[in-house]
Structure 1
């Protein structure tokens, strides 16, 4: 009995000893991993600080590499009609080593350059599939632009108030959801196109004609320039869009920024600053209501027009108001995340059933107005490195032309407009990974250093 008791005590002590050692080893390993991660973060921040101090956007290897990567990003983004700011900002900050403020200003010019190429191509082209009209849906652009510009201003204020961890969380959640929805839409369009191509081949074989002739019929150019495209160009709608742009731009110039930099003397973040800022709300409501009334009047006068069935903005206030609401949401999120609204409104338009080619053309048209406004504001408020910004804008413009040519030829060759949707998915997925990773690193660094991580005042 004594031997059994001694053996039991020995086994118990051995078990406790092994458990203690295992627990101690686990804690030591956990501490070691934490120190290793913190050491890697310190090395990363030291490298980025060194890049920021040494690299003042002079001709160097990091800047050249960043230019090449931005060229590739712009060529991919152009196909989907989105700005690509979600790729430009991480490339400029991580590769070129510029600070976030400079990267944002450069990104505005780069998005402008890419959108110029898109708009020039889309304005000169018409689609036989849509009755010889341009792929740009000016009605969607008219209904969306005032609310998008208002949303950007609200989003910028939220960006100043929200803590970085909340911005990163919202960004990752929304873009992950949008990427998933866009991929599903791409797969759905791909299946629909496959069924259509199969049906065309079957009809060709039943009619006894050459199969190659039927295949060529499905490869009809998506964008065909027609002689009467100038007669179809909606100059009135274009004029209203320019009027909206100049009205909001005038308010931005009168208001200035939080430091009081503007065309008039105004107290920084004073009563005048907020009064002028709040004028954007009734202005957006007035423009949207006026455009809706004008749209109703035109529809009533042309109710028997043969092209009326192809209008994506159908009868009923719920179908019309969905575009301003989507634009407001996209503008707010774009202002909060510091990227263009095109990457956010594109999946929303695809989700409500707008055709991929129309979505891409319309989004690029809307991005042109918002990006040019941002670029002009940066210049008038004393932006530095304007020459470098223009060089990057030319690079992105050339890349966008190249991307559009490649995608259009691919669509003509294979008859699949879903390639546009997949290009949007690629850009959104890369932006989600890059910007979320970049934001998580900054949030972790602020947490470790003990910085304040709560809500802040806008001024």
Structure 2
């Protein structure tokens, strides 16, 4: 029966109905709050919690006890047997306030929240950030959910938006290489496994951290990423302005535009200074990139060349270009699918609050932590494998003189083993802990490494599809969705 219950819960998550909140453990409510003075229900704690009756925190008796007014239908009262006293032959009853279901009834606040969620998901998908930074405050302020319930609901919403965004971006082309797909699948295969590692810990932290700490971390992260994104936007805007006001795009061989404009008798001193500063920075960046490539090539196994080197590099160049034009490279998508299935299996086997372990592993035991750590080692192994593959590919591209367009990454050991994995683990923790799509952390990282904004947003949305689906599954197993109907993807 325990196996059937666990499988049924997992199936219900995929169908979007019947969540583990059907059986809220009322014994987890802080009974010490009973009798405290209050002026509104929020003074008695986050949901599920006590009601404010006659300015006193107490157990509810009707649905109206849980609302701010008799017309407030956003909360409901449930009565059940306390698990803490289930061993008693009398099975005492207790009651708590909890969020209402979606259509019982559908209020004006639900309609407004649905409309704003649609706009937030559209904005988040267009920017490749998922929209969690907008959805979480929306669900807290408008719907009235607690942070612990608003975050899982935002992840389910982000999952639906990411799936729709992928269908739209699948047929789009790279802005500088029309035959290349807009989504950088190799970049996604490098960044997503460590993100899933972080999402596992993020969901754990979400269940452990108090709501006030989650709010502080959310505000801090959103503020920091907004600042970094603004700084990068200013740099891109300045570069575009220099190219816009010149007769041709800035290049190292073009200095004619820095002469006096005879027609207007105007000396472009400021413009010339900014242009030459940009050219100097680009030249310095290219020199540093060549030095980094040479150092990384020395750390790789030697490349054994045939006698006819020219033919070898010509064939390699043709194979690399053909691979770049593949609209759905299985060799880069398959690692993502393996990672997702691994996280899915771990969630089903270990279970969570409201869903027992399918193999009977108690939480906190040695077996529990072994089953938690084992998938992490596999995910790190996939990250290492993808990093090595990208480094070998980068060496072959450089030696074969394949053109690197603006936004292409020169993969080195430092980037594949330190920079991208570290930031992606933080992004995964933020996704699970704070309910954001992970793109709010990975987006600025990709922009910092020179990836074009259209490629960044589409690739981030593709990665969010895996991250959000995995965290939605983990939250469902953990039993942190509000109400009986888990309607986040509607």
Tell whether the structures are fold-level matches, with TM greater than 0.5. yes
TM superposition shift of 1:307: 3.6
Superposed counterparts of 1:236-385, under 5 Å: 236-258=331-353, 261-302=356-397, 303-308=399-404, 312-321=408-417, 322-377=419-474, 385=484
CA distance in 2, matches of 1:350, 1:123: 21
Cα distance 1:42–1:300, how it changes in 2: closer, same or farther (>3 A)?
Answer: closer
1:97 aligns with 144
1:333-362 superposed Cα distances (whole Å, 9 cap, x missing partner): 333323321222212222333221121111
User: Which 5+ residue runs of structure 2 have no aligned equivalent?
Assistant: 1-38, 47-51, 53-66, 77-99, 251-256, 258-322
Q: More deviation in 113-122 or 336-345?
A: 336-345
Cα distance 1:300–1:76, how it changes in 2: closer, same or farther (>3 A)?
Answer: closer
2:168 aligns with 121
* 1:109 is aligned to 2:206: no
TM-score (norm 1): 0.64
1:152-205 superposed Cα distances (whole Å, 9 cap, x missing partner): 1122333344444444333323321211111121122122112222225799xx
TM superposition shift of 1:65: 0.8
1:26 aligns with none
Of residues 102, 121, 142 in structure 2, which corresponds to 1:57? 102
Cα distance 1:353–1:165, how it changes in 2: closer, same or farther (>3 A)?
Answer: same
Cα distance 1:290–1:229, how it changes in 2: closer, same or farther (>3 A)?
Answer: closer
Asked whether the 8 Å contact 2:423–2:441 carries over to 1, the reply is no
CA distance in 2, matches of 1:44, 1:155: 23
Asked whether the 8 Å contact 1:259–1:269 carries over to 2, the reply is no
CA distance in 2, matches of 1:67, 1:160: 26
Using CA pairs below 8 Å that are at least 6 residues apart, which structure has the higher relative contact order? 1
Q: More deviation in 39-48 or 120-129?
A: 39-48
Of residues 233, 242, 256 in structure 1, which corresponds to 2:328? 233
1:66 aligns with 113
1:210 aligns with none
* 1:145 is aligned to 2:242: no
Cα distance 1:332–1:380, how it changes in 2: closer, same or farther (>3 A)?
Answer: closer
Secondary structure at 1:348 match in 2: helix
CA distance in 2, matches of 1:351, 1:298: 22
The structure whose residues are more often helix, as a share, is 1
CA distance in 1, matches of 2:208, 2:153: 24
Cα distance 1:79–1:195, how it changes in 2: closer, same or farther (>3 A)?
Answer: same
Cα distance 1:187–1:385, how it changes in 2: closer, same or farther (>3 A)?
Answer: farther
Superposed counterparts of 1:39-50, under 5 Å: none
The structure whose residues are more often strand, as a share, is 2
1:373-404 superposed Cα distances (whole Å, 9 cap, x missing partner): 233445667766557334x2xxxxxxxxxxxx
User: Which 5+ residue runs of structure 1 have no aligned equivalent?
Assistant: 1-37, 207-227, 393-459
CA distance in 2, matches of 1:335, 1:387: 17
Asked whether the 8 Å contact 1:334–1:344 carries over to 2, the reply is no
What count of residue pairs does the alignment treat as equivalent?
334
CA distance in 2, matches of 1:233, 1:339: 27
Cα distance 1:131–1:265, how it changes in 2: closer, same or farther (>3 A)?
Answer: same
TM superposition shift of 1:81: 1.1
Asked whether the 8 Å contact 2:180–2:326 carries over to 1, the reply is no
Secondary structure at 2:246 match in 1: helix
Cα distance 1:68–1:259, how it changes in 2: closer, same or farther (>3 A)?
Answer: closer
Of residues 185, 194, 217 in structure 2, which corresponds to 1:170? 217
CA distance in 2, matches of 1:124, 1:278: 38
Q: More deviation in 166-175 or 281-290?
A: 166-175
1:223-260 superposed Cα distances (whole Å, 9 cap, x missing partner): xxxxx997443221112221221122212221212555
Secondary structure at 2:487 match in 1: helix
CA distance in 2, matches of 1:229, 1:124: 14
Superposed counterparts of 1:214-233, under 5 Å: 231-233=326-328
CA distance in 1, matches of 2:324, 2:450: 26
Of residues 227, 234, 240 in structure 2, which corresponds to 1:193? 240
Secondary structure at 2:183 match in 1: coil
TM superposition shift of 1:63: 0.7
Asked whether the 8 Å contact 1:119–1:365 carries over to 2, the reply is yes
